Amino acid sequence: MEKWENNKAWFLILPVFIIVAFSAIIPLMTVVNYSVQDIFGPGQRVFVGTEWFEEVLSDKRLHDALWRQFLFSGLVLLIEIPLGILIALMMPKRGWGVSVCLVTLALPLLIPWNVIGTIWIIFTRPDIGLLGAAINSFGVAFDHTAAPMDAWITLILMEVWHWTPLVTLLAYAGLRAIPEAYYQAAKIDGASAWATFRYIQLPKMRGVLTIAVLLRFMDSFLIYAEPFVLTGGGPGNSTTFLSIYLVKIAVGQFDLGPAAAFSLVYFLVVLLFSWLFYQALQNVGKGREG
Amino acid sequence: MAQIELNEIAHSYIANPKGPADYALKRIHHIWEDGGAYALLGPSGCGKTTLLNIISGLLTPSEGRVLYDGWEVTGLPPEKRNIAQVFQFPVLYDTMTVYDNLAFPLRNRKIAENEVDSRVLEVADILDLTPDLKKKAAGLTADAKQKISLGRGLVRSDVAAILFDEPLTVIDPHLKWHLRRKLKEIHDQLQLTLIYVTHDQVEAMTFADKVMVMFEGEIVQVGTPEELFENPNHTFVGYFIGSPGMNFLPCTLVGNVARVGGTSIILDDEVAALGRKAKGALELGIRPMYLEVHGRAVNGGIPVRIKAVEDQGTFKILTLTLEGQVVRARLPEDKAVPDDMAWVRFPPERTKLFADGRLVKRAG
Amino acid sequence: MGLVLRNVDKTVGGETHLKAINLNFEPGSRNVLLGRTLAGKTSLLRIMAGLDRPSRGSVLIDGRDVTGVSVRKRSVAMVYQQFINYPSLTIYKNIASPLKVSGMNNAEIDRRVRETAKMLHIDDLLDRLPAELSGGQQQRTAIARALVKDAQLLLLDEPLVNLDYKLREELRTELQDIFQRREAIVVYTTTEPAEALMLGGNIVVIDEGRILQTGPTPDVYHNPATLKVAEVFSDPPINYLDGRVNDRYAFLGRDIKIPLSGHLRRLAPGDYTFGIRSNHLFLFRLNAEDAEITAEVELSEINGSETFIHINHYDTFLVVQDVGIHPRKIGSRISVFMNPASLFVYDSSGTLIASPSPGSLAAGR
């Protein structure tokens, strides 16, 4: 009778299994399949082994895109995590201010991603955009469609605006979980605000920060919609990140073989780095727990 | 070292308190002498933690003044008051070693590193933490962690008083002895003023020279453990202190004799005389350990039915019924217990009289 | 009806939480599991409830093997340390919840809920939410919810530890009354020897995942089979003195010489550990045969009616518990007295060889 009880549970998650199978596992298998074949047309395929992988991994443009991607993710993390924590520290702990802050912060998270791209295109236009026009009125020639640096600045600003609230919300939850007694003890010990942050708040937020860093890394590494809408990968290919490049190959050139190989490599890179981050943060945690 | 004075302190957590019910602390007016060990004893919600936080500066009282050695400190935050506080559960800096934890309060005050070292080693020695100094604080047992919390208060040579907020809550019973003893040793050695908040009367009575019993925001009685035990001013103190608490029997007074239902109990002459003058509902009080239990009829003995006997190891508790009231007696381990019927005697010198909950005694 | 655990082991990730547990509980019995924190009390309780499966061994209820049966199918009620109630339901609904699941009719549910609430003195709080109640009242609600099911097995995991001292005393007395009237097997865990003694019934002393001793509580108290049991089951901690025995005398500590008589008569020569409880050490000589222990006072504590003095007898630390107020100065020399008839004798492996017989204990109050 007990086995039946457990089997009931399996039946309940069967629908999810099926959906995940259709939308993820089977396509993944297909990608693996394509990555080792050269496809000329429907029904015409040749097994080419690791040829695509070799080609992809030696592609100079891919290396450039990879480098840009790392730079982007790195900058984004460097700005978002501390900024998010800072905002969380400044938020009120009690009262009606809490709800107001939380709702305001959540707003950027609710906007569809390509709409965000559109918002920022217009926002930074030198002629009609609020920000663009303001900057140009100071004499600074700012145009994200023309200068790579300006494009990068716009992209990073947009990304930070979009996702810092997530870090803030996570950090806030972590902060709220700290018992009052720790702050009281720190006060009595004469600890400065910085010492309190470093020795009490930061260690106790370790769990949520791990999640925040992991999420932000993965998302920023995979980013597609916003930069595509904002810059299309330009000017030139100064903002062509990995995903944009991949789509160019797959959809633009219909070269499914190399595209599939590239996807797999992309997937593995993200997996590897996420795992490394996770291990690093967990080990730091373990070391402290003794 | 400091003499701590609480001058007409009252506290309400509400902005505009309207009546006594809105006050967490009603009126506290007391001086703690320098170097004493004191306990604040009372049930949950009586205001003892509020009072502790007012003394330490974590809370500013809505009324009244706090003075240390005559200096007003009411508005000062804790770090300016030279106090240390140990909380209910160990509060440590997880990322630091035991050494760094102890050194933290001194380093914050920019003390020279060699002096920090000597103080930390000294305190670690007092607390038997020397072998653990290099270990990470987070990995130690609960009692070691509480010692570290205590140590952070002791390292500061300028500390005037150490305040404890139910610090033994998470400690196992067999380790409580060890920690209590450490606290007493520290008190004797360093002569610091120690104030200890607890709801556990055993802890309070063994730790403190003087115990302040609190109830619903007020001080009910202050005295040595012996005074509180022998002469509780209030039925609440009689009930709260002692395990089991005092027995109370509603009674009336006829001459020198207290009448509980149909039973007569002879009282001490002086107590009876004062009782006759007192106003209010009268109750007889006697502590379980002073109630004499005999296996056969004795002079002045009252026959009672034994309802239950519990062997508590070092003593026995007898539950009896007298005129329909439940009465408990506490007998030493080796005393023989009668089977069914017993005769109890109320020694007049131990039998107290309470009027409207207050002890009937000579004024002054 | 009965609960039997046979050769139960529990290992989690390489750590042994329980080893070789064999227990037999009769219906209607009251059983206290006494042990320090992390001794395995909660793990054992969870296995009894069916919340966890043992790594080895079996659990039988009424002779039926229920080792694999999920907790939902068993007749079990459990009360936890943290006052666990459904926060969004009123007290009435909280207590009624297990009955609603079982599909009882409403009139019967109402009767039982009110009856149980009255037994626990919360019948006037039935409309409130748990957050509005004090700690003691919340725990009473949790206990009521466990009782209303009338389960065969009632498990309580240190239910009073988060309550005030006095509240604990009161609830304990009430619980004793409640347990008397039930047919269920009651299992109650605690770390406090005093609480174990107060609850009475049978005791299971557990340490580091193993059962050290079982039996009626006063019996185990007066005859702790090993040194470890004596340690776990005493408050204040039991005093130990190492000693040697030759043909005629026992030599304890540095200079305590006791002629072998009474229950010490049959001791073979050798090395032993002698145990004596704190309340059997006195500050005054009571009998001619009392042995004298000279020591230095380390600490004296007074709790209103008793004095605890911590003494140092040549680096052996002892605690004396005497009635009355007798403060002693720290560092002063002191003599304490004990009647040899109250000594527990343990051999070199820690097993009890001799214990004081009841009635032979120091008299004279």
pLDDT digits (tens, 9 = 90+) for A202-238: 888 888 888 898 889 888 988 888 888 888 877 887 8
Chosen for mutation from B56, B86, B102, B104 (greatest number of chain A CBs closer than 10 Å) is B104
Q: Do C37 and B172 touch (CB under 8 A)?
A: yes
What are the tokens at C103?
């599909």
Token output for B88: 């209910």
pLDDT at A180 over 80: yes
Amino acid A285: pLDDT: 56
pLDDT at A143: 80
Q: ipTM of this predicted complex?
A: 0.77
Q: Is C330 on the interface with B (CB under 8 A)?
A: yes
Q: What is the pTM of this model?
A: 0.79
Which chain A residue shows the shortest CA-CA distance from C67? A2
B173–C164: do the CB atoms touch at under 8 Å? no
Q: At what angle do helices A148-176 and A60-90 cross, to 10 degrees?
A: 40
Angle, CA of C183, C189 and C193, to the nearest 5°: 115
**pLDDT at residue A144 above 90?**
no
Q: What whole-number percentage of chain A has pLDDT above 90?
A: 21
Identify from C70, C71, C72, C74 which residue to disrupt to test chain A contact, counting A C-beta atoms within 10 A and taking the largest count: C70
Between the alpha carbon of residue B284 and those of residues B342, B359, B363, the distances in Å are 20, 10, 19
Q: Where are the beta strands (DSSP E) in B87-228?
A: 161-165, 193-198, 210-215, 218-223
- Best A2, A3, A6, A7 residue to mutate vs chain C (most C CBs within 10 Å): A2
Q: What average pLDDT does range B127-153 have in this prediction? A: 88
Query: What is the tens place of the pLDDT at every residue in A55-106?
Result: 888 888 888 888 889 999 999 999 999 999 999 999 988 888 899 999 999 9
Asked if the C-beta of C170 comes within 8 angstroms of chain B's C-beta atoms, the answer is no
* pLDDT of res. C213: 93
pLDDT at residue C66, rounded to an integer: 86
Report the alpha-carbon distance of residue A155 to residue A224 in Å, rounded: 12
Cβ within 8 Å, pair A1-C68: no
Query: Which alpha helices (DSSP H) does A146-224 contain, by range?
Result: 148-176, 180-188, 193-196, 202-204, 206-221
Rg for chain B (alpha carbons), in Å?
24
A9 close contact with C: CB closer than 8 A: no
Residue among B56, B84, B138 minimizing CB distance to A290: B138
Which of C162, C197, C303, C308 to probe by mutation at the B interface, max B CB count within 10 Å? C303
* pLDDT on residue B1: 56
* pLDDT reported for residue B207: 85
Q: How far is residue C209 from each of residues A163, C38, C41, C50, C133, measured CA to CA in Å?
A: 50, 8, 8, 18, 36
d(CA C241, CA C311): 13
Q: Vertex A131, ends A130 and A134: CA angle to 5°? A: 85
Rounded to the nearest angstrom, the minimum Cα separation between A175 and chain B is 15
- The reply to whether residue B202 touches residue C319, judged by beta carbons under 8 angstroms, is no
Q: Which of B86, B93, B109 to mutate to test the interface with A (most CBs of A within 10 A)?
A: B93
Lowest mean pLDDT among A43-47, B105-109, B312-316: A43-47
The whole-number pLDDT of residue B139 equals 83
Q: Say yes or no to pLDDT of A127 above 50.
A: yes
Hey, is B338 helix, strand or coil? coil
Give residues with Cβ within 8 angstroms of B198, minimum separation 6. Answer: B39, B40, B41, B48, B164, B166, B168, B204
Residues B202, B168: Cα–Cα separation, whole Å: 12
Q: C177: nearest CA in chain B? A: B308
Q: Cβ contact (<8 Å) for C237 and B242?
A: no
> At a CB cut-off of 8 Å and minimum separation 6, what does B18 contact?
none
Question: Is residue B282 over pLDDT 80?
Answer: yes
Tell me how far apart the alpha carbons of residues B307 and B324 are, in angstroms, rounded to a whole number: 11
Q: What is the per-residue pLDDT across A32-60, written as a single tens digit (0 to 9) for each?
A: 888 888 777 777 777 877 788 888 888 88
The residue-averaged pLDDT of B29-53 equals 88
- Residues of chain C contacting A2 with CB distance shorter than 8 Å: 68-70, 73
Spatial contact of B180 and B168, defined as CB atoms under 8 Å apart:
yes
Contact present, B66 and B73 (Cβ < 8 Å) = yes
CA nearest to B198, candidates B190, B188, B208, B186: B208
What pairs with residue B247 in β-bridges? Answer: B286
A137 pLDDT higher than 90: no
CB contact under 8 A, B174 and C221: no
| Chains interfacing with B (3 or more CB pairs < 8 Å) | A, C
Chain B residues in contact with A203 (beta carbon < 8 A): 93-95
Q: What is the mean pLDDT of residues A270-287?
A: 75
Q: Are strands B37-41 and B193-198 parallel, antiparallel or unpaired?
A: parallel
Q: Domains for chain A: give ranges and CATH numbers.
A: 60-289 (1.10.3720.10)
Interface size, chain B vs chain C, as Cβ–Cβ contacts under 8 Å: 103
Contact between C302 and B226 using a beta-carbon 8 Å cutoff: yes
Stretch 60-119 of chain C: residues touching chain B, C-beta under 8 Å: none
Is A185's CB within 8 Å of B87's CB?
yes
Looking at the complex, report in whole angstroms how far the Cα of residue C339 sits from the nearest Cα belonging to chain A: 48
Read off the tokens for C145: 């919810």
Q: Which residue on chain A is closest to C71 by alpha carbon?
A: A2
Which residue of C lies nearest to B186 if distances are taken between CA atoms?
C299
Residue B288: list chain C partners with CB under 8 A: none
Instruction: Quote the pLDDT of residue C364.
Output: 33
Higher pLDDT, residue B15 or C77: C77
Average pLDDT, whole number, for chain B? Answer: 87
CB < 8 Å to A5, chain C: 70
Identify residues of B whose CB sits under 8 angstroms from chain C CBs: 43-45, 172-174, 177, 180-181, 184-185, 188, 199-202, 205-207, 225-226, 228-230, 239-245, 287, 289, 310-314, 332-335
Q: Does A5 touch chain B (CB under 8 A)?
A: no
pLDDT reading at B340 higher than 50: yes
Distance to chain A for C161, nearest Cα, Å: 21
Q: To the nearest whole angstrom, how far is the Cα of C159 from the nearest Cα of chain B? A: 15
Using the Cβ of B84 and the Cβ atoms of chain A, whether some distance falls under 8 Å is answered with yes
Per-residue DSSP letter, C290: P
pLDDT for A289: 41
CA atoms of B336 and C177, how far apart (whole Å): 24
What is the C-alpha to C-alpha distance for residues B231 and B242, in angstroms, rounded to an integer? 12
Q: Does A3 touch chain C (CB under 8 A)?
A: no
Q: Which of the residues in chain C have pLDDT under 50?
A: 360-365
A and B: number of Cβ contacts within 8 A: 62
pLDDT number for residue B183: 85
- On chain B, the residues whose CB falls within 8 A of the CB of A180 are none
Q: Is the pLDDT of residue A8 over 80?
A: no
| Facing residue for A181 by CB, picked from B83, B91, B94 | B91
